[in-house]
Amino acid sequence: MPVPSFGLGTFRLKGQTVIDSVRNALDVGYRAIDTAQIYGNEADIGQAIAESGVARSSLFLTTKIWTDNLPASKLIPSLRDSLSKLRTDQVDLTLIHWPSPGGAVPLAETLRALAEAKAEGLTKQIGVSNFTIALLRQAIALAGREAIATNQVEISPYLQNRKLAAFAREEGIHLTSYMTLAYGKVLQEPVLTAIADRHGATPAQVALAWALRQGWSVIPSSTRRENLQGNLKAMQMHLDDEDMAAIGALDRNERLANPEGLAPQWD
């Protein structure tokens, strides 16, 4: 199954906040949920899903392996722990959350362990996150492009990551855009507001529709039911070429996720 085009992000949400967000999202129609070991919310998400009454078979669950767990000796045990917290025997997608800092753990080792996890039925698909062109090249050489379900990267109207996006398109690697709304910054953007007014939409819907039109998946998060519901409407929006060009002109290489000691040498 391809990575769903629309999912729920859960970064920075914990405890009752994430339980409510997941419950509301499932209630209004979301069927894909993105989490990570480092978010510390897998158990909360597992609880919310279990209490929702939504069948596990109708959901697409993604988790991400933290850098401490990239060695072969740790990856599968850590994924089993994630599955236990999520109350499932298999996730749909497992990603390398960040490339190993300083290349301390060889990518070949981690990809082999992920392939083993897939062979054991712990995950249906595997992929990467925060991978640059150089790292993607390595991953493709090691695992084959068909093995990489997605590269999850920061893309927003203010950080359009064009070189990476062009490379991924050439290689047939699907991209998932995270922080598409730039932590809410784009909601105040006059260009998006004007487009939203023309379409009878919200700036958030415009930004998400812009990403979706380029073939990427999006995983916006929200703690408010009305915003969760509103964001979904981006899938029905049609932006014309003029809209796309106006948003294209907003690119200013403004990166928000750039943690020291973790971030690779960006393109």
Residues belonging to the active site: 39
Q: Burial, 13: exposed, middle or buried (Cβ in 10 Å; 0-12, 13-18, 19+)?
A: buried
| 264 within 8 A of 154, measured Cβ to Cβ | no
Residue in the structure block whose two tokens are 């408010």: 224
- The two three-digit tokens of residue 80, written as one number: 């089993």
Residue 53 to residue 45: CA distance in whole angstroms: 13
Residue 36 to residue 60: CA distance in whole angstroms: 14
| 195 within 8 A of 239, measured Cβ to Cβ | yes
